[in-house]
Amino acid sequence: MRTYLPVQPPVLQHELTASNYRYREFLPSECLEAYVACYWTVDYCASNESQLHRILPDGCVDIIVDRRAASHSNGAFAVGLMTQYEAIALSEDQSLFGIRLYSDTACHFIRSPVSELNGHRVWLEDLWGHEALHLFEGINSSIAVSGMIEKVEEKLLQFLQLDGSPKDSLLQVSMQYMYASQGMIGIRSLADTLGYSERSIRRTFQRELGVSPKELTDIIRFQSLLQEMHMSAPSRFTDIALRYGYYDQPHFNHHFKHYYGLTPNQVFK
């Protein structure tokens, strides 16, 4: 089971929940928990005021199906790694289903390096061909989320059975150490542990993910910090920040706001 489970604002800020806006997360089955962080849905009914939907960097790749799209060709797409937050003002009806994949194992499903997805949407049809239509129809033909997940997991397991990618690549092994350390491992320590040069690790991350290992450890550290703050009392926040290497308040606030767009006090009221 993965020890790294990233979180998003609707889980942290309950005041974001409105009667016409709903974000939910669903855990994968045991056979896919090494690959899928979660499945998620966003449903929104437009009103006179727009709804802010904030997305945080989480070290994951998402396959998203727009259930209101007319066809699969413009209704299913993949997005790569984010390195800063995004705040979207929803003003039209939305019904989205997402598959949040861990970036180190996403290659088993997207059939291309994650680095090719970063910074823009890539239509799932361009990655999967006719398989994209099957996923789109399977999700849209299901009324309940449980049915959608069943169709999705059937497709993901098919990909795993046919996939010939190495299961213990340098990228995957490196990221297992990053997850285990909660993003607190440096590139030099990682290189010494794995017996590779720092240059080899950096080149692997840039080629496969399009980001540096330092950027990814910062994101994993931030997400691990968020998870712990979410589960703790505010009186412990200073101790938690210190444990994650934030030795002064300005540094902590700056780093937090870079990835969230808000200060810790604004999030954890």
Encode pLDDT of 150-198 as tens digits: 999 999 999 998 876 666 689 999 999 999 999 999 999 999 999 999 9
pLDDT band at 112 (very low <50, low <70, confident <90, very high): confident
Looking at 162, 196, 223, the residue that finishes a domain is 162
Lowest mean pLDDT among 72-76, 85-89, 211-215: 72-76
Residue 164 pLDDT = 65
Nearest to 259 by CA among 52, 59, 84, 8: 84
- Give, in order, the Cα–Cα distances in Å from 214 to each of 41, 57, 211: 30, 14, 8
Pair (156, 60) in one structural domain: yes
pLDDT band at 62 (very low <50, low <70, confident <90, very high): very high
Pair (143, 254) in one structural domain: no
Looking at 92, 127, 162, the residue that finishes a domain is 162
Give the range of the structural domain holding residue 242, as residue numbers without chain letter. Answer: 170-267
Q: Is 198 left (phi over 0), alpha (psi -120 to 50) or beta?
A: alpha
Pair (239, 128) in one structural domain: no
Q: How many domains does the chain have?
A: 2
| Tokens describing residue 18 | 């409105």
Instruction: Please state the pTM of the whole predicted model.
Output: 0.94
Backbone angles phi, psi at 98, to 5 degrees: -125, 150
Pair (102, 75) in one structural domain: yes
Pair (224, 109) in one structural domain: no
Pair (39, 156) in one structural domain: yes
- Output the domain CATH number for residue 218: 1.10.10.60
Pair (139, 222) in one structural domain: no
Looking at 146, 162, 178, the residue that finishes a domain is 162
Pair (87, 26) in one structural domain: yes
- Give, in order, the Cα–Cα distances in Å from 104 to each of 1, 145, 166, 171, 184: 15, 26, 11, 6, 18
Is residue 4 situated within a structural domain? no
Is residue 119 situated within a structural domain? yes
